[in-house]
A and B are shown apart, each in its own frame.
Chain A
Amino acid sequence: MHVPEENYYTKDHEWAQVDENVVTVGITEYAQDSLGEVVYVELPEEGQKVTQNESFGVIESVKAVSDLVAPVSGTVIEVNTGIIDEPGLLNDDPMNNGWMIRIEMDTEKELANLMRAPEYRKFIEKSQ
């Protein structure tokens, strides 16, 4: 399973790509695979505050509802509305076109609570 080296990861199977103080957030290959076909996504509005480890949205497959959990605290500055119209992108391309939101993070310190790629690889091995 593709786990890019440069990203950070949450135990809820989101990836976080950090570019200075902006963090792009999506779900991992592992997440999309275990969810099955994604049919509905609910995302926050631009300008909304999010908090690390708290829900910022919802993702639904035919079968189940799952919370999306923020990898860092901050302000949502961009939302990928494309995946609301076409939730299938989250299955087809979760690491690129299926990105969900960009967060302007409050503090870099919170990144220390996230996993790096090698640790996340071990984490999903254990989950399987």
Chain B
Amino acid sequence: MIQKTPLHQNHIELGARMVEFAGWSMPIQYKGLREEHMCTRTQVGIFDVSHMGEIRISGERAEETAEWLTSNYVGRLENGQAQYSLLTNENGGIVDDVIVYCVEKGKDYFICVNASNTNKDFAWMQEHNKGAKISNESPFWGQIAVQGPKAMDLIEDIFGEEVKKIPSFYFSNTQWQGAHCMIARTGYTGEDGCEIFISAEKALLLWKTLLEQGAKYHIQPIGLGARDTLRTEMKYSLYGHEIDDHRNPYEAGLGWVVKPQQKDFIGKNKIVAKKEEGLKNKLVGFKMLDKAIPRQEYKVFSLEENEIGFVTSGTMSPCLNEGIGIAYVLQEFADEGTEFLIQIRQKKWKAQVVKTPFVKPGGA
């Protein structure tokens, strides 16, 4: 059965086009993808991300379990700190990318996972549990992302000035209208802002309050379409595109969240061994030199027309008005400035490796 978020009815009232995504009925766009994209870069946008999963690891052996399951160093986290991380498998691939929120050091870690992976991750974590209590709290949480240069002004208006002091990758627990909220200074757009976890029954009230109070900042609700172009412009990974069960984290450019010196974790030896052997491929950002739009799974060729890789994500960048993409290519083609060809249907079009993120906050 297709699942609905607590905000589902409101999306329809707002005129959203609904699509099925990871088993959920979600808004792909409201007014238009480009307008929503630019609104997030220049004003403020709100995103219903209630479909994301929330899994809690708690109890006396919570830290030990979280450490074993994830690649980043959980022991470094203090109360109120958040950390981007990976669930890894025995073969050195990636089960999911997640954010670990340290609610109580040693005893309580709240993990936000991809909607499409919630059940898989929950089963995986239970199977590899080191004696903690692991619970899938997804049905109880709504989640709203507030992103854009005006996002924290709006959050201050609603939650008070304290929230502005939350540093990047920290979060704060608060009460709002009798509901428990976690306001996290995290996001998936490259813009300033936060992600708010709130009890599912109060999510609609918060969503409507954000829209009302945000009117003075020209707020708009943002669909999954713009959420994807916004993250692509930042070269943020998306599970099923840049990363999956077979991908080595170092190849994916995620070595910064792999901490083999500090700890042991699932698949560590395989992950490190592959790096030491020398990585064959590298994840790069590229832009089209010809007028064309790259898409996932398109093949990449050298100028001599040898196959050298494939595209993981691609779109027309709303900020740059150019075709941009992310691709795995052989190491020798990964340097900035390198030109290669993208096969789009029958023809091959020129592209060039560029510095990423493709745009700076604000869209410049």
Residue B293, interface by CB 8 Å:
yes
Q: Residue A63 contacts which of B225, B291, B292, B345 (CB distance < 8 angstroms)?
A: B225
> Given the complex, which residues of B lie within 8 Å of A40, measured CB to CB?
291-293, 316
Number of A-B contacts (CB under 8 A): 34
- Shortest beta-carbon distance, B231 to chain A, in Å? 13
- Shortest beta-carbon distance, A39 to chain B, in Å? 5
> Given the complex, which residues of A lie within 8 Å of B293, measured CB to CB?
39-40, 60, 65
**Nearest CB in chain B to that of A58: its residue:** B345
Contacts A40-B292, A58-B345 given; indicate if A63 touches B315 (C-beta within 8 A). yes
Q: Looking at chain B's contact residues, is the secondary structure mostly helix, strand, loop, or mixed?
A: mixed
Q: How far is the CA of A61 from the CA of B34 in the complex (A)?
A: 10
Residue A36, interface by CB 8 Å:
yes
> Given the complex, which residues of B lie within 8 Å of A39, measured CB to CB?
293, 316
Residue A62, interface by CB 8 Å:
yes
Residue A92, interface by CB 8 Å:
no
Comparing B25-33, B138-146, B189-197, the segment that makes contact with chain A is B25-33
> Given the complex, which residues of B lie within 8 Å of A65, measured CB to CB?
293, 295
> Given the complex, which residues of A lie within 8 Å of B228, measured CB to CB?
63
Q: How many positions in chain B have a CB within 8 Å of any CB in the partner chain? A: 17
Pairwise interchain contact B345-A62, C-beta atoms closer than 8 A: no
Pairwise interchain contact A62-B229, C-beta atoms closer than 8 A: yes
**Nearest CB in chain A to that of B318: its residue:** A62
**Nearest CB in chain B to that of A60: its residue:** B293
> Given the complex, which residues of A lie within 8 Å of B229, measured CB to CB?
62-63
| Residue of B228, B318, B345 with most chain A CB atoms under a 10 A cut-off | B345
Pairwise interchain contact A62-B295, C-beta atoms closer than 8 A: no
Which residue numbers of B lie inside 8 Å of A, CB to CB? 17, 28-29, 32-34, 225, 228-229, 291-293, 295, 315-316, 318, 345
12 A-B Cβ contacts within 8 A?
A36-B32, A37-B32, A37-B33, A39-B293, A40-B293, A40-B316, A42-B345, A62-B33, A62-B229, A62-B315, A62-B316, A63-B28
Which residue numbers of A lie inside 8 Å of B, CB to CB? 34, 36-37, 39-40, 42, 58, 60-63, 65
Beyond the given A40-B316, A62-B225, A63-B33, please list 18 additional residue pairs across the A-B interface where CB-CB is below 8 A.
Answer: A36-B33, A36-B225, A37-B32, A37-B34, A40-B291, A40-B293, A42-B345, A60-B293, A60-B316, A61-B33, A62-B34, A62-B316, A62-B318, A63-B28, A63-B228, A63-B229, A65-B293, A65-B295
